[in-house]
């Protein structure tokens, strides 16, 4: 998914990513190191904007909105699993204008909130 986002950014798509800051426990250190490597790679890309959020809850969701027309939301049950099928739970795809605009509204609110907080 990250590679696809980078390619789309090269072709003019506006790519913005909100990343939740994870709690610093050592239970899943290997997974955390992989995530940090991916995040560092993204930060180096000048075509992709990234903002950090404080951890909101124990829920892990990935939400992608494309062209303000389509949305895909994927629940992550256990990101330590070896395959994507084992790691994910419910996934929802929508082309409903109301659903997509709701996700956009949530994203824009969280983005503005992240911009107001000092980055550490």
Q: What integer pLDDT is reported at residue 27 of this predicted model? A: 52
Q: Which residue has the higher pLDDT, 54 or 27?
A: 54
Domains in the chain, ordered, with CATH?
Answer: 2-116 (3.30.870.10)
Q: What is the pTM of this model?
A: 0.73
Among 2-11, 24-33, 45-54, 84-93, the least confident range: 24-33
Residues facing residue 71 across a β-bridge? 65, 94
Instruction: Tell me the C-alpha to C-alpha distance, in Å, between residue 113 and each of 7, 26, 119.
Output: 27, 28, 12
Cα–Cα distance measured from residue 46 to residue 79, given in angstroms and rounded to the nearest whole number: 27
- Alpha-carbon 72 to chain mean position: 11
Structure tokens at 111: 């983005």
Phi-psi region of 12 (alpha: psi -120 to 50; beta: other; left: phi over 0): left
Q: Are strands 88-94 and 48-53 parallel, antiparallel or unpaired?
A: unpaired
Per-residue pLDDT reduced to its tens digit, 13-45: 888 888 876 655 555 667 677 777 878 888 888
The sign one gets for the Cα dihedral 51, 19, 61, 89 is positive
């Amino acid at each position: 998914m990250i590679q696809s986002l980078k390619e789309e950014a090269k072709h003019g798509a506006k790519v913005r990513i909100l990343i939740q800051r994870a709690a610093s426990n050592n239970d899943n250190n290997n997974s955390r190191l992989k995530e940090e490597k991916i995040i560092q790679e993204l930060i180096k890309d000048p075509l992709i904007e990234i903002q950090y959020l404080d951890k909101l809850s124990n829920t892990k969701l990935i939400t992608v909105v494309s062209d303000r027309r389509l949305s895909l939301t994927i629940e992550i049950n256990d990101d330590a699993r070896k395959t994507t099928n084992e790691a994910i739970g419910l996934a929802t795809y929508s082309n409903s204008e109301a659903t997509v605009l709701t996700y956009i509204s949530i994203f824009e609110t969280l983005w503005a909130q992240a911009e107001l907080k000092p980055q550490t």
